Amino acid sequence: MATDPPPKNPAWLTPRDGFRQGADNRRRSRREVAREELLGEWYGEDVAPLEIEQRQAPPRPVGPLLDQLLLDLNQGDKVLLRRVLAAWPELVGSEICRVTSPQSIRDRTLFVEVSDATWRFRLQSVIPDLNQRVAKFSEKQLTQVRLVPGGRTATRR
């Protein structure tokens, strides 16, 4: 048994290796089988499974991967809008949440649809507070909230 382990390869498994099936039930690729046989010879049959397991990439949640993909595709506003939508009830409170709906982000401005003109007039007085809350939540990625009349996509919750 040799004392030096083989170097860790960042491409331990390529996307082509695991395309057939998922999880532990998938059929191993020829490349994967060859690696496992080599590690079995290198470490011995009793230690090789532990070494193989250590070299496998840990599972990662899909949500952050999708967020990073959208950021890479210059779709960061959509990621931010999704975060704002999820936190909207906590940001504005249940009463305002029922009559408003964040719709889009453009030029660091969050556009929020308001269900009717009466509420829109009433909410004009809390715009400075909303601007502060949204700026703090978005880590100053958003600097302004604009209220727009409800259209076809306006929702009453």
Q: Are residues 92 and 141 in the same domain?
A: yes
Determine the structural domain holding residue 37 and report its residue range. Answer: 1-59
Which of the two residues, 8 and 102, has the higher pLDDT score?
102
Establish if 28 belongs to a structural domain: yes
User: Which pTM does this prediction carry?
Assistant: 0.54
Establish if 65 belongs to a structural domain: no
120-124 average pLDDT score: 93
71-97 average pLDDT score: 86
CA dist 97 → 56, 84, 122, 134, 145 (Å): 45, 12, 14, 14, 14
What confidence score (pLDDT) does residue 61 get? 84
Q: Are residues 31 and 6 in the same domain?
A: yes
The encoded tokens of residue 75 equal 């779709």
- Please give the Cα distance from 137 to 157 (Å, whole number): 22
Q: Are residues 39 and 98 in the same domain?
A: no
Establish if 68 belongs to a structural domain: no
Q: What is the dihedral of CA 45, 47, 49, 54, to 10 degrees?
A: -150
pLDDT, the chain, mean: 80
Of 59, 89, 105, at which residue does a domain stop? 59
The encoded tokens of residue 93 equal 């409170």
Q: Are residues 54 and 85 in the same domain?
A: no
Number of domains in the chain: 2
